[in-house]
Amino acid sequence: MLAAAIPITGHAFWFATPENEWKQLIWQHLPNWLTIWDHQVLRDYYEGKSSFLSKRHIWGWALPILAWTTFSSVFFSTMTLISILLRKQWTDHERLTFPVIQMPGAMMNPKSSFFQSRLIWIGFAISGTIVLINGMHFFFPQIPYVPVKRQHIDRFFLEKPWNAAMPMKISFYPFIIGLGFMMPLDLFTNKCLVPC
């Protein structure tokens, strides 16, 4: 959340132009403590011609970072407390499966045949090979890239009503597919077949 919130704290002020009228439409609704108003701090941030370690930059960023950190802490604490409140209902009465916990549990159990399973090693090999090839492509561009993340499929959907859903992308994440084998099918399709 902070990875998205911090870069946009000054977006409305830096990119405001007479054409988009953000000054009249947006600025009045943005609280001072949640955004960066100082144009010099924004100039140095967006143009990158200065170090962050100056008093003006630190004070310009301190309040928005503190506000977003406080919001995130309260948000995640609330989600944790809701999970604690619902834990007994979920685990004892509804007996929900928690696939994120099942794999480490199977790996740690000395009586488990987890590491003797040929399918597990084939799955590790396929996903590991894809990640290894793409990692090598990052450092050595002459090695071909295996297209697994956010491939645009817009060119296949040019007619109505599909063209209204642009941009349309599809991703292939081997670890999600592996995790999906331990999940109920309805939960897997609900969580994995979503737009990127």
For residue 4, the surrounding DSSP H or E stretch is helix 2-5
Query: Does 133 score more than 90 pLDDT?
Result: yes
Asked if 169 and 195 touch (Cβ cutoff 8 Å), the reply is yes
Alpha-helical regions (H) of 6-147: 11-14, 22-25, 39-47, 55-88, 99-108, 118-139
pLDDT at 187 over 70: no
> Between residues 19 and 79, which one has the greater pLDDT?
79
Domain range list for the chain = 2-81, 101-192
**Distance between CA atoms of 105 and 97, rounded to whole angstroms?**
13
Sorting pLDDT into bands at 50, 70 and 90, what band is 129?
Answer: very high
List CB contacts of 179: < 8 A, sequence separation 6 or more: 99, 100, 103
Say if residues 42 and 36 touch (Cβ distance below 8 Å): yes
Band (pLDDT 50/70/90 cuts) for residue 196 is very low
DSSP states along 114-136:
GGG-HHHHHHHHHHHHHHHHHHH
Contact 150, 196 (CB under 8 A): yes
pLDDT tens figures, 68-110 = 889 999 999 999 999 999 988 888 888 777 766 777 787 788 8
**Residue pLDDT, tens place only, 28-39:** 898 888 888 888
